[in-house]
């Protein structure tokens, strides 16, 4: 959408977008082969920072709206007519595209906590979302994560019941990350990048921006998806001032500690404070 909105061009920044699995992109970021990436707060990010990689989260992405259908679903085939209760998750296999390292584990852990359970009481299987949709339908897994457009398939087939969001209500589901190129080598470009991002949020992504007649046809074209599908997706919420929630990374770090060997560093050590870098947000916010 930058081609149409132009906020990065105003900062003399030309974007070249590449697609790669988050773990692969993180390696490319740490080695300076890409300049920035968008990712959630994963165990891989925490481990990379603990090992001394110069990668940092520098700005939040979108917050999913209250009526978002992205999240954890229980398989109706696995329920076999029973009414779902969180206690049923104990000992069950749940699928997630990011496995044991992913951000959706935070809301899963919060749901489990209601019944005195932790992530150690379930089995997390790494699975592509398209495969998860099939596994939910035939009951091959008890539950799993899904996001649009895969949630549409689940809801239309009535094959799953949502029991937890993919991220807490006030948490960004992803964040912008910088590697050494923009953190240290070209800080001024990094500042301009985050300013352009904030201006994109403020000028083009407020209110029901997704369904705005100026946007929806262009977005459907860019995403190579049907306009009718986008009409069923609520607009994500974007900030007009950049900031991370209090204890944002700490909450994920605590959750990953519930499973053995997910975090590679000592249990008495915390790296959460080193994962984020606020100076770029301060610049964009005009502080």
Kindly state whether residues 185 and 218 are assigned to the same domain. yes
pLDDT at residue number 222: 75
Whether the predicted pLDDT of 121 surpasses 90: yes
Same-domain pairing of 151 and 30? no
What is the arithmetic mean of pLDDT over 97-124? 95
Task: Compute the distance between CA of residue 169 and CA of residue 68 in angstroms, rounded to an integer.
Answer: 10
CATH number for the domain that contains residue 82: 3.40.190.10
Residues 52 and 47: their CA atoms lie apart, in Å, by 9
What range defines the domain where residue 247 resides?
Answer: 2-64+171-285
Q: Does residue 281 share a domain with residue 180?
A: yes
**Average pLDDT score, the chain:** 93
Query: Is the peptide bond between 149 and the residue preceding it cis, with omega within 30 degrees of 0?
Result: yes
Q: List the one residue out of 51, 55, 61, 65 whose CA is nearest residue 32.
A: 55
Residue 98 CA to residue 101 CA, distance in Å, equals: 6
Domains held by the chain: number: 2
User: Are 158 and 19 within one domain?
Assistant: no
One domain for residues 145 and 179: no
Q: Considering the chain, what percentage of its residues have pLDDT values greater than 70? A: 99
Mean pLDDT calculated for residue range 16-41: 93
Domain boundary among 165, 184, 202: 165
What whole-number distance in Å separates Cα of residue 119 and Cα of residue 208?
36
pLDDT computed for residue 17 by the predictor: 87
For residue 115, count other CB atoms closer than 10 A to its CB. 13
Q: What is the pLDDT of residue 226?
A: 79
Tell whether 55 and 80 lie within a shared domain. no
165, 191, 207 - which closes a domain: 165
276: pLDDT strictly greater than 80: yes
Whether 30 contacts 53, CB under 8 Å: yes
Contacts of 19 by beta carbon, 8 Å cutoff, 6+ apart: none
Query: Quick one: pLDDT at residue 149?
Result: 82
Residue-wise pLDDT tens digits, 160-187:
999 999 999 999 999 999 999 999 999 9
For 41-100, what is each residue's pLDDT tens digit?
999 999 999 999 999 999 999 999 999 999 999 999 999 999 999 999 999 999 999 999
- Name the residue among 1, 74, 7 with its Cα closest to residue 230: 1
Q: What is the pLDDT of residue 103?
A: 92
pTM over 0.75: yes
Residues 233 and 268 grouped into a single domain: yes
| Whether residue 79 is found in the same domain as residue 133 | yes
Alpha helices, DSSP H, located in the chain: 2-5, 7-10, 22-30, 43-50, 76-79, 105-113, 129-138, 150-157, 180, 187-204, 216-223, 227-230, 248-256, 272-275, 279-285
Residue 216 C-alpha from the chain's centroid: 22
Nearest to 193 by CA among 34, 52, 24, 53: 34
């Amino acid at each position: 959408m930058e081609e149409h909105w132009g906020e990065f061009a105003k900062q003399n920044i030309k974007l070249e977008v590449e697609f790669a699995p988050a773990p692969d992109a993180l390696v490319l970021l740490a080695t300076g082969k890409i300049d920035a990436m968008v990712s959630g707060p994963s165990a891989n990010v925490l481990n990379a920072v603990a090992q001394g990689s110069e990668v940092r989260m520098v700005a939040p992405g979108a917050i999913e709206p209250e009526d978002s259908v992205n999240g954890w679903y229980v398989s109706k085939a696995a329920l076999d007519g029973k009414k779902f209760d969180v206690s049923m998750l104990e000992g069950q296999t749940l699928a997630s595209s990011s496995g044991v390292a992913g951000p959706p584990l935070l809301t899963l852990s919060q749901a489990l906590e209601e019944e005195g359970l932790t992530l150690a009481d379930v089995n997390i299987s790494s699975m592509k979302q398209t495969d998860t949709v099939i596994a939910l339908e035939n009951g091959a897994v008890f539950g799993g994560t899904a996001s649009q457009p895969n949630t549409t398939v689940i809801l239309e087939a009535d094959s799953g019941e949502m029991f937890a969001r993919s991220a807490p209500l006030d948490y960004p589901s992803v964040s912008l990350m910088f590697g050494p190129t923009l953190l240290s080598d070209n800080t001024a470009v990094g500042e301009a990048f985050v300013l352009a991002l904030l201006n994109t949020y403020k000028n083009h992504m407020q209110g029901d921006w997704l369904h705005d007649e100026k946007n929806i046809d262009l977005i459907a074209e860019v995403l190579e998806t049907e306009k009718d599908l986008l009409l069923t997706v609520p607009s994500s919420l974007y900030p007009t001032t950049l900031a991370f929630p209090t204890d944002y990374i700490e909450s994920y770090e605590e959750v990953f500690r519930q499973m053995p060997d997910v975090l590679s560093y000592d249990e008495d050590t915390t790296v959460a404070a080193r994962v984020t870098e606020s100076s770029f947000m301060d610049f964009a916010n005009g502080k």
